[in-house]
Amino acid sequence: MYTVDAFIGGCTLRDTVLVIDGAIPKYFPGDTSGCTDSPITLYRPLPGIYLWSDGSNKAQLTVTTAGNYSVSIDNECGQSMYSTLVELADCFCAIVVPNIFSPNDDGINDEIELSVNCDYEYELLSFQIFDRWGTLVFNASAHEDFQWAGKLNGKEVQSGLYVWQSSYQVLRNGQAEMQTASGDILVVR
């Protein structure tokens, strides 16, 4: 609230004005993008009577398809309009582990290693391999080497089918999401 006094001759003129912050609040995004498997929620940026571009008058709008979205707000300060363009894409994050290898020290496919193909920042948390009875034969956690040479306690494991499991964390839209992946590996000697 600001008041101004003007003195003209022996008269005093006074006026008062209320100034509000016209910036778009930080929780109503400008143009934004996200993933089709993770809806974006838009929140009304100001109090008042509001109407979203889809005709709803809820406090928030969950966006599951790309497009332009807007909200009109009527309150004691007047009418305000906010809009944003939402783009959605199929985001991808995959753990890739070969499904066969031959740890026979011939210099070809002697170790198995996982690789990550991810559209987002990620952190590998664990990589485990189990035999067909569920016995853990390999375990690596964050910041360790995620390579297995087909050995358990320094001895070669038998040929056969093994199951791997990996957990990782993906950072999307400022949020950390836990993910898991699994598959099988055939050890051939």
DSSP classification of residue 127: E
Write the burial class of residue 148 (CB in 10 Å: 0-12 exposed, 13-18 middle, 19+ buried): buried
How many other CB atoms sit within 10 Å of the CB of residue 47?
A: 11
Residue spans of the domains in the chain: they are 2-89, 93-187
The mean predicted confidence, pLDDT, of the chain is 87
Rounded CA-CA distance 78/149 in Å is: 69
0.75 cut: is pTM over it? no
pLDDT in tens, 5-37: 888 888 888 888 776 665 555 557 778 887 787
* Domain 2-89, second-level architecture: Sandwich (2.60)
How many other CB atoms sit within 10 Å of the CB of residue 105?
A: 10
Q: Do domains 2-89 and 93-187 have the same CATH topology?
A: yes
pLDDT in tens, 132-155: 999 999 999 988 888 999 999 999
DSSP classification of residue 77: T
Nearest-10 Cα torsion for 85, 86, 90, 95 = 120
Four-way CATH pick for 93-187: 1.10.240.10, 2.60.40.10, 3.30.420.40, 3.90.320.10: 2.60.40.10
Q: Which tokens in the block code for residue 174?
A: 């400022």
